[in-house]
Structure 1
Amino acid sequence: MATTKKIGILFGKENSFPQAFVDKVNALAAGKFEAEFLSIDKVAQGASTIYSVIVDRISHDVPFYRAYLKNAALNGAAVINNPFWSSADEKFFNNCLATKIGISVPKTVILPSFDLPDDTSSQSFRNLAYPLDWDTIFDYIQFPAYMKPFAGGGWKSVYRLENQEQFFEKHSETKQLVMLLQEEIVFEQYYRCYCIGGKYVKIMPYEPRNEPHLRYDAHFIPSPSLLKRMKEDVLKINQYLGYDFNTVEFAVRKDEPFAIDFCNPVPDSDKASVGQENFNWVVENAAKFAIEKAANYDGLKDNLTWGKYIQAAIQKEKLF
C-alpha cells in the first residue's frame, strides 16, 4: 500500500491546468502533502503505487492508463474520477437517471449505429426491429432536433437537424457511432457549471453558439431562484453519479434549467478557453479537494467516490 501522501496528476496535451494544480496543492499543503506530475515506469498486477491521490485527466483516451488507475484504486489510491464508474457511464444513462431524480432533461432516444459494429452481422441484431418505429420516435422528439454520440465529449459529430430527410442523411454519416436523438431546447440563457467533490459548484454563463474561444464570453444573469435551482441540480446530479470532477450544462427555457450535458469527467480547464477567473476557481477547488482526499486517505480501505446510485444498489435501499 502507498504510505506517502503524494498527489499525482495524470494528463496529456493540456498544459496550464496540470502545472497550476501542482503548484496550488504544494502551496496549500505547506509540506504536509506533495503534488507532482505522475510518473509510471512499470505496472505489475496487484502492485501498489506511491500516490495516495491521483487526478485523472487522460485515461478516457488511453486504455493503458485506465488499467493502471484501476490497479492503483484496488491498492487504495483515491482516483479522481472513479475509473470504474467513468468506464461504465455514458450520456444516455445519465439522462435516464435524471428522469428518476427530478432533473429536467430534453426528450431523448438512443439509436443503434448506422453501420454494423466490427465482428457482427445482421444475425447479431435479430432482436432489433427493422425498420425502427421512426414515426413514433419523430413525433416524440419533434424537429428541429440534435443528434450526437451517446458517449464521448466535445462537439464532435454533433448535428442540428431540421427534418426527417436531413436526419436520415446525417445518420448515414455516423457509421459505427451509437447516437442520441434529442429535443432542441430553444434557450434564453445557458450555463456551464463546474462541480468538484460533490460540494463545490461554480456556475458560469456560457454561449455555445459562439466560437470555442468566445463561449465563456457570455453575460447571462440568473435570477436568485434559477441560481438556487441550478446549484441544487448540479449537486444532485454529481452526488448520484459519484463524480468528483465534472461539468453540467444547462439550457434555460422560461426560467427552467434543462440539463443538456453532464457526463464530462475530464472537463475543459484550460486558462485560454475558460478565462482567468474560472481557471483560478477550478485550480483552487481541485487542489483543495485533492488535499481533503489525501488527508482522509486510508490505505486499507477503498478510497474511491461511489455515487448514490451504486450505494443504494449495494445496500439494497430504495433508490429514488
Structure 2
Amino acid sequence: MKKIGILFGQENSFPQAFVDRINEKAEKGISAEFVRIDKMMQGEPLGYSVIVDRISQDVPFYRASLKNAAITGTAVINNPFWWSADEKFFNNALAVKLGVPVPKTVLLPSKDHPDSTTDRSFRNLAFPLDWDGIFDYVGFPAYMKPFDGGGWRDVYKIADKEDLWAKFAETKQLVMLLQEEIIFDDYFRCYCIGGKHVRIMQYEPRNPHHLRYEHGKAPASKKMLDTITKYVLQLNQYLGYDFNTVEFAVRDGIPYAIDFCNPAPDAEVTSVGQDNFEWVVETAASYAIERAKAQKDNKDNLTWGEYVRTGVAGKPLVAAAKAPKADTSVGTVDHAISEEAKPKKKVPAPKKVAKK
C-alpha cells in the first residue's frame, strides 16, 4: 500500500478535504492520511510514498525531516532542497532572464547587523550605498518587503525617501527588497499544480482578505489569459514547484509577475471560495496520486526545475524545453464568498395541481 501524507499547520479546510478526496477515489493500493511523526532517525523512511508539505517554511524541524524522507525515496511536494534555497530576489532575477515582466527591484542589506557580526564583517559593502541610484531606478511610491518572506508580513508602502528612512529603521535584521509599485488596472492570482494545471483567478488584493476574489471586474481577454498562462508555466517550469501560486498586476496591458514564491499557498475555502477550492482539492489529489504511482523507493522522486537541470547539464538557461501544454481553467465568482458559510435556503417543492 502506497501512502500519501499531508503535513500542515493552522489551516483547516484543505488538508481534510485533500485526504478525503484521495480516499474517495479508491485507487488500488493508494491511501491518504495526515502525516504522523513519532521519531526521526537518520536515513530511515517515514513510510510515505508522497508527502504534500504545507508548513515546513515555518517549522525547521519539519524541513529537515522532509529532506531525510526525500533521500529515502519519498516524493515531497514541494522539493524541500529547492524551497530552502529559493527566495524572492533570485526569483525576480530569474524572471528577468526568462523575459517575464517584473517590477524594478533592488536588494537592501539589513538595517541592523546580524547577530555575531560587527562593522568589520561588512568591509566589502560600500558606505553609504548609492541611494540616489537606487531611488532613480525604483522610483516612488514603492514597496519594501522581506526578500524571503510571505503572508504579507513586514510589507511597507514607501511614499518617498524620508518615509523609507523611518520604515527601514523598523526592519532591524531583516534583509529587504525595495520594489517599484505597479499601479494596476487588473490583478490575477494563479494556482499551478504539477507544472501543467493552471487555475487563473481575478483578484483584488486591496479588498479585505475574505473579499479579495469578489473583484467586480469584467472578464479578462483570451489574449491576456494566454499570456498569463504562458508566464505561469514558464516560471514554475524553471523553479520546479509542484504546487505554487503566481500573482500578476496588469499595468497598461502588461502582466507583471508580483509574487511567485508561494509553495504553500492559501487554499482555505473561506478565502478562495467554493469553486476555486473544489478545483485545487481535485487537482492536488489527482496529482498526488499520479506522483504516488510513479514513486520508487530508494530513488530521487523530487521535482527539479529547469534552472537546476540546465545548470547540471551545462546547457544555456533559456534553451531548455518548452513549457508543457497547460490544462487551464478560469475561476469565476458570481456570488459573495461570505455567503458560502451560511446554510442554503430550502427551495419549496412545487404545489401539486389538483386533478379535475
Asked if TM exceeds 0.5, the reply is: yes
Deviation at 1:31, TM superposition (A): 4.1
- Paired position in structure 2 for 1:274: 272
The SS at the match of 1:51 is coil
- Paired position in structure 2 for 1:82: 79
Does structure 1 conserve the Cα–Cα contact (< 8 Å) formed by 2:37 and 2:46? no
What amino acid is aligned across from residue 294 of structure 1 in structure 2?
A: A
Deviation at 1:300, TM superposition (A): 3.5
Rounded Cα–Cα distance in structure 2 between residues aligned with 1:219 and 1:279 = 19
Task: Structure 1: state its 5+ residue gaps.
Answer: none
What amino acid is aligned across from residue 208 of structure 1 in structure 2?
A: P
Does structure 2 conserve the Cα–Cα contact (< 8 Å) formed by 1:29 and 1:291? no
Deviation at 1:49, TM superposition (A): 1.9
- Paired position in structure 1 for 2:256: 258
Rounded Cα–Cα distance in structure 1 between residues aligned with 2:255 and 2:26 = 37
Does structure 2 conserve the Cα–Cα contact (< 8 Å) formed by 1:199 and 1:235? yes
What amino acid is aligned across from residue 307 of structure 1 in structure 2?
A: G
Does structure 2 conserve the Cα–Cα contact (< 8 Å) formed by 1:239 and 1:307? yes
**Which stretch shows the higher mean deviation, 287-296 or 216-225?**
216-225
After superposition, what is the alpha-carbon deviation per residue over 1:119-160, rounded to whole angstroms, capped at 9, x for unaligned? 111111110001100000000001011111101111111111
- Paired position in structure 2 for 1:216: 213
TM-score between the two structures when normalised by the length of structure 1 = 0.98
- Paired position in structure 2 for 1:114: 111
Rounded Cα–Cα distance in structure 1 between residues aligned with 2:252 and 2:220 = 12
Rounded Cα–Cα distance in structure 2 between residues aligned with 1:219 and 1:289 = 32
Deviation at 1:219, TM superposition (A): 3.1
Rounded Cα–Cα distance in structure 2 between residues aligned with 1:143 and 1:254 = 18
What amino acid is aligned across from residue 15 of structure 1 in structure 2?
A: N
Rounded Cα–Cα distance in structure 2 between residues aligned with 1:314 and 1:253 = 37
After superposition, what is the alpha-carbon deviation per residue over 1:155-211, rounded to whole angstroms, capped at 9, x for unaligned? 111111111100111001111110000011110000000000000000001101111
Task: Structure 2: state its 5+ residue gaps.
Answer: 319-356
**Is 1:132 aligned with 2:129?**
yes
Please point out which of 194, 198, 217 is paired with 2:195: 198
When the two chains are superposed, the root-mean-square deviation of aligned CA atoms in Å is 0.8
What amino acid is aligned across from residue 306 of structure 1 in structure 2?
A: W
Rounded Cα–Cα distance in structure 2 between residues aligned with 1:52 and 1:118 = 40
After superposition, what is the alpha-carbon deviation per residue over 1:187-238, rounded to whole angstroms, capped at 9, x for unaligned? 0000000000000000001101111111111133211100000001000000
Rounded Cα–Cα distance in structure 2 between residues aligned with 1:30 and 1:301 = 23
- Paired position in structure 2 for 1:288: 286
What amino acid is aligned across from residue 249 of structure 1 in structure 2?
A: E
After superposition, what is the alpha-carbon deviation per residue over 1:95-125, rounded to whole angstroms, capped at 9, x for unaligned? 0000001100000000000011111111111
Deviation at 1:56, TM superposition (A): 0.4
- Paired position in structure 1 for 2:327: none
TM-score between the two structures when normalised by the length of structure 2 = 0.88
* Structure of higher CA gyration radius: 2
Rounded Cα–Cα distance in structure 2 between residues aligned with 1:271 and 1:298 = 33
Percent of counterpart pairs with the same letter?
A: 64
Does structure 2 conserve the Cα–Cα contact (< 8 Å) formed by 1:205 and 1:219? no
Rounded Cα–Cα distance in structure 2 between residues aligned with 1:75 and 1:183 = 43
What amino acid is aligned across from residue 313 of structure 2 in structure 1?
A: Q
State how many pairs are aligned. 317
Deviation at 1:299, TM superposition (A): 1.2
Deviation at 1:316, TM superposition (A): 1.1
